[in-house]
Amino acid sequence: FVGSTRTAAKINHRLALNSVEKRVPLARLVAETGGLNVLVADSSALPEQVCDAVLASFAQSAGQRCSSARILVVDNGCKNELARMIQGGLSAMRVSKANLNLSTDVGPLISEIAADKARTHCDELESGGARIIARAVGEDDGALFHPRVYDLNPEP
């Protein structure tokens, strides 16, 4: 199962009840409930490969896969070059509500509530001193949320 912790718990509970009611062995449940995945790039990493991995993981599927990375840890020596590359990649992406259109790279999030949570998180990052270093072109609208990358430790 891939989904929310709440739904995984309900499924697990139902499996347990089924086991007791039917006197059968308890079925095994494997659940992926939205871990916090990280990409790490040290100074030996090729910036082009890191950029490709970031764009694929952070932006494709609107970041809504259980395997999507949410954190990028980068060696300070390649941070600026990598930020420029990521900005170039995000600038080239088409973010659109027309998710059935083959030219759309990033479609809307699952709901306006999810997009509002993402925007609130971005506001909290910025009020906490994080600096936006890359963002897809365009304006957020309803469930449409444009991918962005923040530097959580910006130099003064």
Q: List active site positions.
A: 32, 66
CB neighbours of 33 closer than 8 A, spacing ≥ 6?
2, 3, 4, 5, 8, 66
Give strand ranges (E) for the chain: 37-41, 69-74, 131-135, 148-151
Residue 132 carries which DSSP code? E
CB neighbours of 96 closer than 8 A, spacing ≥ 6?
103, 104, 106, 107, 144
